[in-house]
Chains A and B, each alone.
Chain A
Amino acid sequence: MLTAAETEKNGKKMITESLSEYSLDANTLPEGFRLPPPEDEEAEEFFVNIGPQHPSTHGVLRVVVRLNGETVVEVVPHLGYIHRSIEKMAENQTYVQNIHLSDRLDYLSAFSNNLCLCMAVEQALDIGVPERGEYIRLIICELQRLQSHLLWWGVLGMDMGAFTTFFYGFRERELINDLFEELCGARLTVNYFRPGGSSVDVPETFIPRVKHLLNIMPKVLDEYSNLLNKNIIFLERTKNIGILSPEKALSYGSTGAVLRGSGINYDVRKNDPYSIYDQFDFDVPLGSVGDSYDRCQVRMEEMAQSLRILEQAVARFPSGPHRSQPQQNYKLPKGSYYSQVETPRGLLGVYIVSDGGAKPYRLKYRSPNFSNLNVLNELAAGHKVADLITIMSTLDLVIPDIDR
């Protein structure tokens, strides 16, 4: 047994050791940092751990930041705090069972994730989707984009210290989530689409409620734009902050609004149209500078474009069956299959290798958030801590999608 004094001594020793691991005096940098220690003896560099529990990481992301005063020198994200081995679990489940797992990737774009997996199965078995089924998919995916961006907008304001935006964003998001709830009983993890269509048809009240939403939204978007996006403090905080060059954006494999904010015209809905997106008239908003402001404006404009798609879809919404060739079990022929969709956050791809059984031999998700997170160091270096938070917010990360 140790005496009290010895325990105290040991305790103190342990604290000193763990501290030395994170100080420059030990001449070793913490894991992941590449830049050499500063040559200037006067430089007061230190390391701050942001996360895994932090109000602005929106999940369990841990970011170790190397600071010189208030200025960020280097950022190293640490992953794996919410790793649930979804890809390994997928190998022990049938394809229909896998749909509900795909909800848990990026919980704000659960419908798009469902859709991606279903499309791969349909491609393998050559299952067609009835017209009404396609319209349901499209309307719901666009509603999802709307609610995801509304949440992003609210959280963006909160990360900048304007708490009120959070509640405003949630006001309309709630309407959309209520729609989802009426549709399938769930608000986030929906498990709704099936190969060949969707699990159930939409209720009769669905289209009128979407129309009601479409009446409200344009005014609301204007209001939100005035409240936050035209505020001078917002402009000062986002313009020319965290500039991502088009080359860097491409080389990091970033997609979605992050890529389009840098001015690269790539949207899966346009460039590789899936479902019935090719029948609809909409624009792909692009940024010019690639700074935080451009990423924000691209998302704001995307909401307006989603409304355009929704208006067209609601006007042409057909009757008929919602699903074709429903089966208990889908056995994919031997081979590999790939499908991709544009989720609110970027390109989600699913790659299935099948050995001919009812379960995938290997299932790999290409998630947009993982690639979008990797540009963080590139964007934040040289800016202040406060900007690191806004930059993270404009990347619109959903952490469970990074770790899977």
Chain B
Amino acid sequence: MMSSYAELYPVNNFIGDIVRSIFPEPAAAIINGLLALLSLMALVGSLGAVLIFLERKVSAHFQLRFGPMRVGPHGLLQPLADGIKAIFKEIIKPAGADTFIFFLAPLLPVSAAFLVLAVIPFDHHLQVADPAGGVLYVLGVSGLSILGILLAGWASNNKYSLLGAMRSGAQMVSFEISIALLMLLIVMLSGTASLRGIVLAQQGTIFDWWIFKLPFLGILAFIMYLVASTAELNRTPFDIAEAESELTGGFATEYSGISFAMFFLGEFVNMFVAACLVTTFFLGGFHAPLFGLPVIDPLLNLIPGFLWFFAKAFLIVFLYMWFRWTFPRVRVDQLMYLEWRIMLPASLILLMLSGLFVAQGWVG
């Protein structure tokens, strides 16, 4: 019993050890878990601010602007000011809206982000829980965020919102399949569905990461996963659910104040979560990018794993932002075409080929 707790909640770091030295084991595991959840909350709160600031700055520099510059040095306190503004704004509920669902919907994307973050291995011993079927769990809960969009559009009693919601529904059903298949590929390669196990399977140099270890197919899978997760995130070029030039605000048309801010926060934290998953699956998670060089490698190893993890995740986040501020939006039927005619067959073939590679022992 005790060992299973320890396995499920692998918080083995400095603070975890202190808690363990004070409390007996089952209680310590629970207290450790609670502490980890609290730190997750702090993480989500600060991530929201950081990511919103980052998006505004990145977009500004793509667009020959400075972005926010007034509040604090280089506008660093702008997210705080935005948050305060959002809290004090009136929440307007349109006539004929379904009250309960209307107010429930903004909470779902953020909670989805929370639930996924709980199983992300930020470092060797920096993970709230590590269920054996971690990949399955991620697939299950990440759908919640699009459920939120679907409900929001349906409950708003607005045709624009409804159109946006129906679009995102179609998007969810299709791109989840590609994502699931690509995750399956990683599970097959790693031989485990636990996220920590997947990261540990990529131990070694940079060429042991799944993106490089699987000859050629790894990079292909990485790109496909990036595309599918962009679609899953509802970001340009796949932001058809919001599509501000067509549907004014899409699913969020009728939302204001803090309920809109929750959607906003959810969108950004989900972007980070998706980047975390990419890092975990393809980029070796918390492992340092080693090249097998004698002098540099030990130096790189000195940098703690969670910093490497965050660096990789933010690199992917930057890629998502780059997409958003460069590409035009695809049309809804083109999106469906991309998934069902291109991505789905391609990911199936990729899965089969990788199966062949693994069976023949060509990996690595």
A233 in contact with B327 given A158-B245, A161-B245 (CB within 8 Å): yes
Report whether A164 and B332 are in contact in the complex, using a CB–CB cutoff of 8 Å.
no
Report whether B328 and A161 are in contact in the complex, using a CB–CB cutoff of 8 Å.
yes
Within 8 A of A (CB), among B319-343: 325-334
Please give, as numbers and ranges, the residues of chain A lying within 8 Å of B329 by CB-CB distance.
160-162, 233, 386
A164 in contact with B63 given A15-B95, A386-B246 (CB within 8 Å): yes
Report whether A236 and B63 are in contact in the complex, using a CB–CB cutoff of 8 Å.
no
A188 CA / B325 CA spacing, docked (Å): 29
Mask: chain A, 375-404; 1 = CB below 8 Å from B; 0 = not: 000000000111111000000000000000
Within 8 A of B (CB), among A1-39: 15
A56 CA / B245 CA spacing, docked (Å): 5
Please give, as numbers and ranges, the residues of chain B lying within 8 Å of A388 by CB-CB distance.
246
Q: How far is the CB of A56 from chain B (nearest CB, A)?
A: 5
A157 CA / B65 CA spacing, docked (Å): 18
Q: Is residue B244 within 8 Å, beta carbon to beta carbon, of the partner chain? A: yes
A70 CA / B241 CA spacing, docked (Å): 12
Q: Is residue A234 within 8 Å, beta carbon to beta carbon, of the partner chain? A: yes
Report whether B330 and A385 are in contact in the complex, using a CB–CB cutoff of 8 Å.
no
Please give, as numbers and ranges, the residues of chain A lying within 8 Å of B62 by CB-CB distance.
164
A168 CA / B65 CA spacing, docked (Å): 10
A157 CA / B59 CA spacing, docked (Å): 15
A166 CA / B244 CA spacing, docked (Å): 14
Q: Is residue B163 within 8 Å, beta carbon to beta carbon, of the partner chain? A: yes
Report whether B246 and A56 are in contact in the complex, using a CB–CB cutoff of 8 Å.
yes
Report whether A384 and B159 are in contact in the complex, using a CB–CB cutoff of 8 Å.
no
Report whether B64 and A386 are in contact in the complex, using a CB–CB cutoff of 8 Å.
no
Please give, as numbers and ranges, the residues of chain B lying within 8 Å of A385 by CB-CB distance.
163, 246-247
Q: How far is the CB of B63 from chain A (nearest CB, A)?
A: 4
A164 in contact with B326 given A48-B160, A236-B334, A386-B246 (CB within 8 Å): yes
Report whether A159 and B245 are in contact in the complex, using a CB–CB cutoff of 8 Å.
yes
Within 8 A of A (CB), among B232-279: 236-237, 239-240, 243-248
Please give, as numbers and ranges, the residues of chain A lying within 8 Å of B73 by CB-CB distance.
none
A157 CA / B160 CA spacing, docked (Å): 21
A389 CA / B331 CA spacing, docked (Å): 11
Please give, as numbers and ranges, the residues of chain B lying within 8 Å of A54 by CB-CB distance.
248
Report whether B245 and A46 are in contact in the complex, using a CB–CB cutoff of 8 Å.
no
Q: Is residue B72 within 8 Å, beta carbon to beta carbon, of the partner chain? A: no
Q: Is residue B96 within 8 Å, beta carbon to beta carbon, of the partner chain? A: yes
Please give, as numbers and ranges, the residues of chain B lying within 8 Å of A15 by CB-CB distance.
95-96
Please give, as numbers and ranges, the residues of chain B lying within 8 Å of A157 by CB-CB distance.
328
A33 CA / B191 CA spacing, docked (Å): 61
Interface size, chain B (Cβ < 8 Å)? 31
A164 CA / B65 CA spacing, docked (Å): 10
Q: How far is the CB of B184 from chain A (nearest CB, A)?
A: 28
Q: Is residue A231 within 8 Å, beta carbon to beta carbon, of the partner chain? A: yes
Q: How far is the CB of B250 from chain A (nearest CB, A)?
A: 11
Within 8 A of B (CB), among A137-166: 157-164, 166
| Residue from A70, A167, A234, A389 in contact with B65 in the complex, judged by beta carbons closer than 8 Å | A167
Report whether A160 and B244 are in contact in the complex, using a CB–CB cutoff of 8 Å.
no
A46 CA / B158 CA spacing, docked (Å): 12
Please give, as numbers and ranges, the residues of chain B lying within 8 Å of A48 by CB-CB distance.
159-160, 163
Q: Is residue A308 within 8 Å, beta carbon to beta carbon, of the partner chain? A: no
Q: How far is the CB of B56 from chain A (nearest CB, A)?
A: 12
Report whether B237 and A233 are in contact in the complex, using a CB–CB cutoff of 8 Å.
yes
A168 CA / B248 CA spacing, docked (Å): 23
Q: Is residue A228 within 8 Å, beta carbon to beta carbon, of the partner chain? A: yes
Report whether B243 and A161 are in contact in the complex, using a CB–CB cutoff of 8 Å.
yes
Please give, as numbers and ranges, the residues of chain B lying within 8 Å of A160 by CB-CB distance.
245, 328-329
Q: How far is the CB of A202 from chain B (nearest CB, A)?
A: 29
Within 8 A of A (CB), among B297-338: 325-334
Measured CB to CB, the nearest residue on chain B to A19 is B96
Report whether A164 and B246 are in contact in the complex, using a CB–CB cutoff of 8 Å.
no
Measured CB to CB, the nearest residue on chain A to B63 is A167
A70 CA / B245 CA spacing, docked (Å): 15
A227 CA / B159 CA spacing, docked (Å): 33
Q: How far is the CB of A359 from chain B (nearest CB, A)?
A: 43
Residues of A near any B CB (own CB < 8 A): 15, 46, 48, 54-56, 70, 157-164, 166-168, 171, 227-228, 231, 233-234, 236-237, 384-389
A-B CB proximity, top 4 nearest:
A161-B329, A160-B328, A167-B63, A162-B328
A-B contact pairs, 20 of them (CB 8 A): A15-B96, A70-B332, A70-B333, A160-B329, A161-B243, A161-B245, A162-B328, A164-B59, A164-B63, A167-B63, A171-B64, A227-B326, A236-B331, A237-B328, A237-B334, A384-B332, A385-B247, A386-B243, A386-B246, A387-B331
Residues of B near any A CB (own CB < 8 A): 59, 62-65, 95-96, 159-160, 163, 167, 236-237, 239-240, 243-248, 325-334
